[in-house]
Structure 1
Amino acid sequence: MTSRFEDHLSALADAVEARLAVVLADAAGPGESRRPDRLTAAMRHAVLGGGKRLRPFLVAATAELHGGGDGDPLAVAAAVECLHCYSLVHDDLPSMDDDDLRRGRPTVHRAFDEATAILAGDGLQTLAFDLLADPATHPDAAVRIALVADLAKASGPGGMVGGQMLDLSAEGRFGDGRPAALGDGEIRRLQAMKTGALIRAACTMGARVAGAGPAEVARMARYGDIVGLAFQLADDLLDVTGDAATVGKATAKDAAAGKGTLVSLNGIAAVRAELDALVAEAGTVLAPYGARAETLIAAARFVADRER
């Protein structure tokens, strides 16, 4: 039996899936030439038919918490998911993490080929910003600019892309080829950039599209930091304790790659204790919203306890 939160998450995932199917249709948008069929098929393979849609959920839930406003949170959610899926396509490439399985299906470069996967990722990345810049997403140009800036900073060299560079460097992919022994602070910095930054952006962008003020956006940023760290800690636990059939991707890869994680550094028990502390902290951060924040508190617990 699923929880009320999981039902909520599933319903939002269905709504995002429907919007993404329209966004990734074969037909061109206004002022756009027809998209090549193979590129469209690869982009659809990367995005549709799987995934928890956690980041889009956080966009929608934080927007709902702040009253919805005049914008279209679903468009923002779709943009964040396009950006996220681009990162997965590129991370899975042979030159990066070299994965054959994603969400229980062949990765894009396996289902198609490497060149098509690279271009599909490029297409999804730029499509995300196209969606955010569309006046239909929010009538206020200043809000649209802020949304674009949030996503750009979270996904760029000071965020997700920079975090992936640090991750590859730690694996010994450059220089003398030996993995680096990272300390607690270095691992947290890497993970905050590679994984946490986009989750944080999802929370701030949901607040912005709903018309939240600077103090509320800052509070959502703190909540996003907490959830981002919890997500990565849970992911590292799954790599040690999960199996590929349940998780939907290869497991035990971190140890095989000599990758330092907080699990390998501090142990399973310490990481589980930290996850509990993070959920409690999320509740403290959201306390000013009272009962209206129940969904986001449940989201933090779901992230900490997830099994895939």
Structure 2
Amino acid sequence: MTASKTVLITGTSSGIGLAAAVAAARAGWEVVATMRDPGKAGHLLAEAGAVGAAGRIHVERLDVTDPAGIQSAVARVTAAHDGLDAVVNNAGAGVVGTIEVAGMDPVRAAMEVNYFGVVEVTQAAMPHLRASKGRLVTVTSVGGVVGQPFNEAYCAAKFAVEGFMEALAPVAATVGVRVTVVEPGAVASEFVASQRLDVPALVAGAGPYGPALQSYIDRARQSFGNAQSAAEAAATVLEVLESEDPPFRAQTSEWARGFVGTKLADVDGSAVQGMTAQWVGAR
């Protein structure tokens, strides 16, 4: 690839987005690193500076729940960089809870960030990706393939993104745009963020689902104890960006491949239900 290629990445203030921005800049891409609050770009710029790539990082404000802001940001970026060669939809937010107790607000909020935000950015970017015959990469999750207890809202949004992209991919290919979803499992940066949860209060507030939630949280903590780093997950994003023939679906680890593979081979749903039932102490 040449240094003239430009990629826009959402959600780059931390985690996979930050690591992907640094990796792409280090590889020679001009990286438009977007985030809701550009004042939080310090860590990103320091990491990029440490590998000699800060000059290829261009921070832009973009809130994926603001349609007008998305259109404005994409217009600014394409004007400044004479087009756009790739987009990485990475911005997202998790939510823990179950519908009877949590209600509808978390579901709507999760869909706004994790689904509609992706659709809005994609819609704004597609004319420019079509012109460059570029790449559209979306960071989803193994939770976009396997429904996980107490992640109903999050998994619903990620399932929606996967369905959207799977349907879009052959259509986009007719105009030269390659579409890929990247599916991480547990990532260490997400574990750090999860520690801000008040687990006792969450369990107490879960009513009849409290014991199952505690069982799930105990299992999740064990899983995050073996989490991969954000940089390891971001390596898959970069690989997809630079591949001559990227796949539609790419996992970021062997564990994620096995986990997703369980679902994709599970015609009647019994394998996944048997697995996830154990996580919540169901018999």
TM range (shorter): 0.3 to 0.5
Higher strand proportion? 2
